Amino acid sequence: MELSIIFDYLKRLEKNNNREWFAANKNEFELARDVFTKFVDCLINEVTKFDPSVKGLEAKDAIFRIYRDTRFSPDKTPYKIHFAAFIASGGRKSARGGYYLHLQPGECGIAGGIYGPQPEVLKALRQSVFENIEEFLEIVKNPDFEVYYKEMYGEKLKSVPRPFPKDFIHGEWLKPKHYCVDTALSDEFFCQPDSLQRTTDIMRLLYPMNRFLNFAVDELYGLS
């Protein structure tokens, strides 16, 4: 699958991020989008083999639109300069943990977990980590996992949040505002003939963490 088509297009889009150029080159966008869609569909099939919760998901439900919401942003460029998809039960807007793919020239990556959880979800995730800390540490401190995912992504609280004890020895794992991890990868990684398998292998490492997080989410909403 020739993902280099995507990178070639995105490089041109970054230099010509305006509606006139986009419209004049709509066929090029549609070709790049179709290549990405096929890759994501294949990826979903592979992820389903180790995480059956995403069975039935289609690429169209996982892929984010290229159009930017500029209403409240000082940056008025109309288009994103990346292609992205979130593979999770419920699709790209899911509150559950899943598998994120980001293709952008010079800034590619794979991520997983739950980004931006609602307050009640974040509280449930922290409670689960607190009550099952040994199981959680076995996941995030697994040497294979740490090759790609070294720490939780994003902002953290400065102190252990209430109602957890301030002297909890593993309090650092209760401070994240997002329970997600990510790893940066080169453009070349995705342009290799075996990129689908290599991407699948890195996403497979996320499954134990997603399963842990989703158990807490399902319990919260009475789905378990």
Report the CATH number at residue 167. Answer: 3.30.930
Cα(170)–Cα(151) distance, integer angstroms: 14
Reading the chain (224 residues) residue by residue, the pLDDT tens digits are 589 999 999 999 999 999 999 999 999 999 999 999 999 999 999 999 999 999 999 999 999 999 998 888 888 999 999 999 999 999 999 999 999 999 999 999 999 999 999 999 999 999 999 999 999 999 999 999 999 999 999 999 999 999 999 999 999 999 999 999 999 999 999 999 999 999 999 999 999 999 999 999 999 888 76
Residue positions counted in the chain: 224
Strand order in the sheet with 83-87: 83-87, 98-103, 108-114, 179-185
Contact 76, 99 (CB under 8 A): no
Cα(20)–Cα(204) distance, integer angstroms: 41
- Output Rg (C-alpha) for the chain, integer angstroms: 19
Domain that holds residue 195: 4-220
Q: How many domains does the chain have?
A: 1
For residue 29, the tally of other CB atoms under 10 A from its CB is 17
pTM for this model (two decimals)? 0.96
Amino acid at 121: V
